[in-house]
């Protein structure tokens, strides 16, 4: 996959189920999406568990407000650009340029579970 800078957004989702943050990265006309268990500003405290969820429409890059079906509200807590340095089945090496996420990070698939990942800072 050729490297190119893409947009990303992190939305805080509350008011329905457990509070969480959605990390969305632009890819081929959709947003690849991971549900984060902690705010990305806590990344310095250690890796953040992430669950791969359904791709979202690119309209979510700028959306804040109610979620359809009465599933709470979202607000943007971070946005910017991200360079996908490596992208394969088991890992994404990323360089973020945003307000909260800044610098090198890796999203790594945990074991053989397709949906369970870890977001970690690279040293």
Residue ranges covered by each domain of the chain: 5-121
Q: Do the strands 91-98 and 73-87 form a parallel or antiparallel pair, or are they unpaired? A: antiparallel
Which tens digits make up the pLDDT trace of 54-106? 999 999 999 999 998 888 999 999 999 999 988 887 899 999 999 999 999 99
pTM of the model: 0.92
Which tens digits make up the pLDDT trace of 7-27? 999 999 998 888 999 999 999
d(CA 65, CA 51): 22
Judged on CB neighbours under 10 Å (0-12, 13-18, 19+), 35 is middle
E strands of the chain, at which residues? 5-14, 20-27, 30-36, 48-56, 65-66, 73-87, 91-98, 102-109, 116-121
């Amino acid at each position: 996959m050729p490297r190119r800078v893409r947009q990303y957004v992190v939305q805080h989702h509350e008011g329905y189920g457990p509070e969480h943050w959605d990390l969305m990265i632009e890819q081929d006309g959709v947003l690849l999406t991971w549900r984060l268990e902690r705010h990305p500003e806590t990344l310095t405290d250690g890796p953040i568990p992430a669950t791969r969820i359904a791709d979202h429409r690119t309209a979510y890059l700028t959306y804040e407000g109610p979620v359809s079906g009465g599933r709470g509200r979202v607000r943007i807590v971070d946005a910017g650009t991200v360079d996908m340095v490596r992208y394969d089945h088991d890992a994404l090496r990323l360089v973020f340029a945003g307000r909260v996420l800044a610098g090198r990070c890796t999203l790594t698939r945990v074991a053989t579970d397709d949906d369970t990942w870890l977001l970690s800072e690279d040293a």
